[in-house]
Amino acid sequence: MEPVTEAILNQFETNVIGNYGRFPLTLTRGEGTRVWDEHGNEYLDFISGIAVNALGHCHPHWVKRLQEQAAKLVHVTNLFYIPQQGELAEKLVQLAGPGKLLFCNSGAEASEALLKLARLHGRRRCGNDRQCYKVIAADRAFHGRTFGGMAATPLEKIQGGFHPMLDGFAFGKINDIDSFVSLIDDQTAAILVETIQGEGGIYVCENEFLQDLRRLCDDHELMLIIDEVQCGAARSGTYFAYEEAGIRPDAIGMAKGLGGGFPIGAIWVADEFSDLFQPGSHGSTFSGSPLACTAALAVLEVIEKEGLVDRVKRLGAKFMGKLEDVAREFPEHIVEVRGRGFLIAVAMRDDFMPFIGELRDHGLLTVGAGTDAIRFLPPLNVDESDLDRAIAIFRSVLSEHE
Ligand code: PLP
């Protein structure tokens, strides 16, 4: 594998802040599940921009919709009505239930809006004196890198260097309802969890646990807030991952796959809470632009037209089954397979980073998750033959370790 050219390395070294550890690869073109590096080498992209490129690269319908909209109107401001925003909100309400949307540009911004919402709810419920502003989140959670998101992300790796954190967060353990019950006090406003913890290592909330959280929130008048930034947008085999549990949250965070590669985030808020934000209480310049909303509409159009929700459910289960076969063949390397749909992690016994490098050298791009796992995030419309090819590559890399 040829290295990244000296010129590009120098350009980055000199001009780009080093806040990322980068793989030694320069990607220059993509089509569907495939990407090519600057030397023309081809890779299967099972990172999908970390669960962003829901339709793979350059899906023709998505590209056409963006090109047409870019030639017409890209950005105005939320001082005006934006028809694409209204249309997208309507579609997301159809998916999430009675409520309203607020748009933003990223997952961290969605978390930020959700945390502000929790405070507004706490204030309405308790008044100014009692100060109900606390949020119970979860161990191994990841909600973004802003001060709110970071405070809800109890990892020294994320928080280190940025203390003091925003006040008012406590952390339970997913699938252990008692750990949440014991943290509730008379200042608690909300519970915030990812249905499937992504960055933390792909840990799935069990249906019963989500149902218990719903009951707990109802009993204590807390908002149940679900961060679906990574597991939503059909990645888990239902449009929202929490649907599997048959519950309805009070608010949902979205981003990543929502725009299929164009930056857009959103929160859905149930009717009961949707008047908490009033004119002037929140906003952001770029949010919900004609172009961003068109990108998200194009993703939803393709998801519907190509039946991707059912496809992910069917092929995700099959792919996971095949990874479990591989895990049984190589127990000396693999601890377990976790996840659902196309949000899957294979937990390794030893350092997973060398495996990620070797998979890359064999033409398969994957990314780590948590402290122990290789994450597989194919696009929702991946060909079954490419899933099989990924399994074959994984098997051959593991065999080389025998
Ligand atoms: N929430 C979850 C569940 C995420 O996985 C992420 C990103 O990985 C975020 C929030 C932050 O999103 P962004 O990187 O778009 O700010």
Distances (CA, A) of 326 to 24, 266, 330: 27, 37, 6
What does the pLDDT average to over 193-214? 98
- Report which ligand 1 atom has the smallest distance to the Cα of 146: 16
CB within 8 Å of 183: residues ≥ 6 apart = 136, 170, 171, 172
Handedness of CA 382, 200, 254, 138 (dihedral sign): positive
**pLDDT by residue (tens digit) across 45-96?**
999 999 999 999 999 999 999 999 999 999 999 999 999 999 999 999 999 9
- Rounded to the nearest angstrom, the distance between the alpha carbon of 234 and the centre of ligand 1 is 16
Q: What is the pLDDT of residue 130?
A: 82
What does the pLDDT average to over 304-322? 98
Look at residue 313 and tell me whether its pLDDT is greater than 80.
yes
Q: Which of 386, 305, 311 is nearest to 341 (CA)?
A: 311
Look at residue 225 and tell me whether its pLDDT is greater than 70.
yes
What does the pLDDT average to over 354-374? 98
Look at residue 402 and tell me whether its pLDDT is greater than 80.
no
**pLDDT by residue (tens digit) across 139-196?**
999 999 999 999 999 999 999 999 999 999 999 999 999 999 999 999 999 999 999 9
- Report which ligand 1 atom has the smallest distance to the Cα of 256: 15
Distances (CA, A) of 400 to 92, 333, 359, 387: 46, 12, 11, 20
- Rounded to the nearest angstrom, the distance between the alpha carbon of 170 and the centre of ligand 1 is 19
Handedness of CA 301, 102, 152, 242 (dihedral sign): negative
* Burial class of residue 239 (count of CB atoms within 10 Å of its CB; 0-12, 13-18, 19+): buried
199 lines ligand 1 (CB under 6 A): yes
143 lines ligand 1 (CB under 6 A): yes
Test site for ligand 1: of 199, 231, 258, most ligand atoms within 8 A of the Cβ: 199
Look at residue 310 and tell me whether its pLDDT is greater than 80.
yes
Q: What is the pLDDT of residue 372?
A: 97
Look at residue 129 and tell me whether its pLDDT is greater than 90.
no
- Residue for token pair 């260097």: 161
Look at residue 358 and tell me whether its pLDDT is greater than 90.
yes
Q: What is the pLDDT of residue 306?
A: 98
pLDDT band at 1 (very low <50, low <70, confident <90, very high): low
- Active-site residue numbers? 142, 227, 256
- Rounded to the nearest angstrom, the distance between the alpha carbon of 220 and the centre of ligand 1 is 28
